[in-house]
């Protein structure tokens, strides 16, 4: 079978994850990465539907927690980008620059936004007058552009990053900004929990924080190849951008103060994470909430019984649609039932219903769960109840299994040798004691040839250990991993 001119390969999720991911995007018709610009891809119709459902979850979460959706321009004058010194230093080498309008060189060149702090700041300066204007919580869903020099990968490391969901908030005090950071962490936890994605939350070391931030909290997912993927970040920006752009507000007692800001973002990696965390050797597996098709109905006809079987399938489809499920009745005449099973499995449709003459005679349907591939028969009259129940079970089991898989791959060790061995064979995430000194952190990264993800932000556990580098007492655990 060929899809879109590419041979269908069956790389294994379990043994050849990188290839699996690349192939599955094309084979399941999610993203075509053959566009003639490196780092740009095309969301295909099926992928676009998944993208739309995932976006809806984020929009709902943000809309229901006091954020307002907006849309800011794509172009940033270099003069704006340059206003916050740490920010410009980190991002100017990553920008795509617009230098001409037609034949005319521009006096001030424009950057395609690599992120929007410096797009939003000049407008906040105009909008924020007094404490009554605060807090302010905005977000937008856009594409951002980063001239990534590391190997690009579809969805995971794009140069045109899309959909980029970025929130920007403004506050009257440091405490309120910190509270917002915690609120954002909670929102992102809810988002990932909703689609069953496991994560660890870590405070990035100072040298790896977002440029212009006081500190950065990051969500990381462990991929089947043992590498960590950063799937979302929350930044406390303190007053850095407020000071750089002169954004002040009038306090209750009439004085002028700089505002405090935060920003947080999730990219298409939020979608990639679903494919990565739940996929298997047969394809992708989608949680019902975001599956474009939740139930695929496949008739298994037998000579002479075609009409009855097809009619029963149509009746079941109608019932399920009336109960608001997204249903596909697969009546394609040119495919065998086997081909159809393969087709829907590859695309991760959570529930498949098969009806054959024997089912019909017994007044039942055969229901197959995509996650476990287990088959069960169910009374045809109760099909709506069955689908409801299976959808709930699949949602729960996907989350539980993915979380268990990741948890098994978090190791706590107390020697550099052990850490190095585990990380070398990409066993997962390794936790060690660290004194917190930057020098020791760098030495640690060098010694084990991996990245420091940071301090756990999802536990308050203290340890009674010794820094593996300098031997001084260390109460903090730090996470290390090979990272994307």
When CB distances to ligand P5A are compared, the closest residue is: 265
Give yes or no for residue 62 binding ligand P5A (CB under 6 A).
Answer: no
Give which of ligand P5A, Zn ion, none residue 44 binds (C-beta under 5 to 8 Å, depending on kind).
Answer: none
Residue 191 makes contact with ligand P5A by CB under 6 A: no
Short-list 385, 347, 348, CA closest to 365? 385
Shortest approach of ligand P5A to residue 468 CB, angstroms?
27
Site for ligand P5A in 134-153 (CB under 6 A): 146, 148
Task: Tell me if 107 sits within 8 A of 99, measured CB to CB.
Answer: no
The one segment of 130-138, 151-159, 164-172, 432-440 that binds Zn ion by CB under 5 A = 432-440
**CB of 140 closer than 8 Å to CB of 116:** yes
* Measured distance between the N- and C-terminal CA atoms of the chain, rounded to whole angstroms: 32
Backbone angles phi, psi at 415, to 5 degrees: -145, 150
Q: In this structure, is the dihedral angle defined by the CA atoms of residues 157, 161, 167 and 170, taken in order, positive or negative?
A: positive
Tokens at 334, concatenated? 């040119």
DSSP assignment string, 364-422: EEEEEETTT--EEEEEGGGHHHHHHHHHHHHHHHHHHHHHHHHHTTEEE-S-HHHHHHH
Of 213, 317, 367, 440, the one binding Zn ion by CB under 5 A: 440
Q: Tell me: does residue 452 bind ligand P5A (CB under 6 A).
A: no
Mask of contacts with Zn ion, 441-480, x by CB under 5 A?
--------------------------x-xx----------
User: Does residue number 115 form part of the binding site for ligand P5A (CB under 6 A)?
Assistant: yes
435 binds, among Zn ion, ligand P5A, none (CB under 5 to 8 A by kind): Zn ion
By CB under 6 A, tell whether 203 contacts ligand P5A: no
The upper half-sphere exposure of residue 75, i.e. CA atoms within 13 Å in the direction of its Cβ, equals 10
Closer CB to Zn ion, residue 44 or residue 470?
A: 470
> Is residue 264 involved in binding ligand P5A (CB under 6 A)?
yes
Q: Shortest approach of ligand P5A to residue 41 CB, angstroms?
A: 10
- CA 57/CA 247 separation, integer angstroms: 32
The burial class, CB within 10 Å (0-12 / 13-18 / 19+), for 361 is: exposed
Of 297 and 467, which has the nearer Cβ to Zn ion? 467
Give the one entry of Zn ion, ligand P5A, none that residue 440 binds, where binding means its C-beta sits below a cut-off of 5 to 8 angstroms depending on kind: Zn ion
Q: Is the dihedral of CA 136, 139, 140, 144 positive or negative?
A: positive
Is 82 one of the binding residues for Zn ion (CB under 5 A)? no
Which residue of 158, 259, 277, 320 would you call a contact of ligand P5A, by CB under 6 A?
A: 158
Task: Tell me whether residue 180 or residue 230 sits nearer to ligand P5A (CB atom).
Answer: 230
Q: What angle do CA 337, 339, 341 make, to 5 degrees?
A: 70
Q: DSSP for 131-159, please give it.
A: GGG-SEEEEEEEEEE----SPPBTTTB-S
Considering only residues 221-240, where is the footprint of ligand P5A by CB under 6 A? 230-233, 235
Q: Per-residue x/- marks for Zn ion, 387-426, CB under 5 A?
A: ----------------------------------------
CB-CB contact of 295 with 349 (8 Å): yes
Residues that bind ligand P5A (rule: CB under 6 A) add up to a total of 20
Handedness of CA 15, 18, 21, 23 (dihedral sign): negative
Contact call for residue 202 and ligand P5A (CB under 6 A):
no
Partner that binds at residue 347, options Zn ion, ligand P5A, none, CB closer than 5 to 8 Å by kind: none
DSSP state of 341: H
Given the complex with ligand P5A, which of 235 and 451 has the nearer CB atom?
235
Residues 320-339 touching Zn ion, rule: CB under 5 A, are none
With CB under 5 A as the rule, give the number of residues binding Zn ion. Answer: 6
Q: Which is nearer to ligand P5A, 160 or 194 (CB)?
A: 160
Which residue number, 227 or 235, has a Cβ lying nearer to ligand P5A?
A: 235
- Distance CA(225)–CA(427), nearest Å, equals 8
> Interface with ligand P5A includes 368 (CB under 6 A)?
no
Token code pair at residue 146: 């980063």
Helices (H) and strands (E) in the chain, counts: 14, 27
DSSP 8-state assignment for residue 113: P
Question: Which of ligand P5A, Zn ion, none does residue 293 bind (CB under 5 to 8 Å by kind)?
Answer: none
Name which of Zn ion, ligand P5A, none residue 232 binds, using a CB cut-off of 5 to 8 Å depending on partner kind. ligand P5A
DSSP, collapsed to helix, strand or coil, labels residue 283 as strand
d(CA 196, CA 190): 10
- 3-state secondary structure (DSSP) of residue 278: helix
Q: Which of 383, 435, 444, 448 binds Zn ion (CB under 5 A)?
A: 435
Do 335 and 328 touch, CB atoms closer than 8 A?
no
Supply the minimum distance, in Å, between the C-beta of residue 450 and Zn ion.
17
Nearer to ligand P5A, 136 or 369 (CB): 136
Question: Tokens for 450?
Answer: 């991996």
Closest distance of CB 440 from Zn ion, Å: 3
Binding region for ligand P5A (CB under 6 A): 115, 117, 146, 148, 157-158, 161, 166, 210, 230-233, 235, 263-265, 267-269
Site residues (vs Zn ion, CB under 5 A): 435, 437, 440, 467, 469-470
């Amino acid at each position: 079978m060929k899809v879109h001119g590419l041979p269908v390969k069956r790389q294994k999720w379990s043994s050849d994850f990188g290839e699996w991911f690349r192939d599955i995007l094309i084979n399941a018709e999610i993203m075509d990465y053959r566009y003639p610009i490196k780092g740009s891809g095309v969301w295909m119709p099926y992928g676009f539907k998944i993208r739309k459902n995932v976006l809806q979850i984020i929009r709902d979460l943000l809309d229901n927690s006091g954020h307002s959706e907006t849309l800011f321009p794509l172009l940033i004058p270099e003069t704006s980008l340059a206003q916050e010194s740490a920010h410009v230093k980190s991002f100017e080498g990553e920008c795509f620059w617009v230098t001409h309008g037609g034949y005319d060189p521009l006096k001030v060149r424009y950057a395609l936004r690599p992120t929007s702090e410096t797009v939003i700041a000049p407008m906040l300066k105009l909008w924020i007058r007094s404490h009554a204007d605060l807090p302010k919580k905005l977000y937008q869903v856009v594409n951002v552009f980063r001239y990534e020099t590391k190997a690009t990968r579809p969805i995971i490391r794009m140069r045109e990053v899309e959909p980029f969901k970025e929130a920007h908030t403004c506050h009257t005090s440091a405490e309120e900004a910190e509270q917002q950071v915690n609120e954002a962490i909670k929102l992102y936890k809810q988002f990932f929990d909703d689609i069953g994605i496991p994560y660890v939350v870590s405070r990035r070391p100072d040298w790896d924080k977002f440029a212009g931030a006081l500190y950065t909290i990051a969500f990381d997912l462990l991929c089947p190849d043992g590498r960590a993927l950063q799937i979302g970040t929350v930044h406390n920006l303190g007053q850095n951008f407020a000071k750089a752009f002169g954004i002040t507000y009038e306090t209750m007692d009439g004085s002028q103060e700089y505002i405090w800001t935060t920003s947080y973002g999730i990219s298409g990696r939020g979608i990639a994470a679903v494919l990565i965390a739940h996929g298997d050797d047969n394809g992708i597996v989608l949680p019902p909430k975001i599956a474009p098709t939740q139930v695929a109905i496949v008739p298994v006809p037998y000579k002479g019984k075609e009409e009855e079987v097809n009619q029963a399938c149509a009746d079941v489809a109608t019932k399920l649609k009336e109960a608001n499920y997204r249903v596909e009745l697969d009546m394609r005449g040119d495919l065998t039932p086997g081909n159809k099973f393969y087709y829907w499995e590859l695309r991760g449709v959570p529930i498949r219903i098969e009806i054959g003459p024997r089912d019909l005679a017994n007044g039942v349907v055969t229901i197959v769960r995509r996650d476990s591939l287990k088959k069960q028969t169910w009374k045809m009259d109760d099909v709506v109840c069955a689908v409801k129940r299976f959808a709930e079970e699949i949602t729960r089991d996907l989350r539980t299994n993915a979380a268990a898989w990741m948890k098994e791959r978090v190791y706590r060790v107390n020697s550099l040798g052990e850490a190095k061995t585990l990380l070398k064979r990409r066993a997962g995430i390794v936790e060690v004691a660290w004194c917190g000194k930057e020098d020791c952190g760098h030495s640690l990264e060098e010694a084990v040839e991996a990245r420091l993800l940071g301090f756990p932000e999802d536990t308050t556990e203290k340890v009674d250990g010794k820094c593996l580098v300098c031997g001084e007492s260390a109460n903090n655990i730090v996470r290390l991993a090979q990272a994307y």
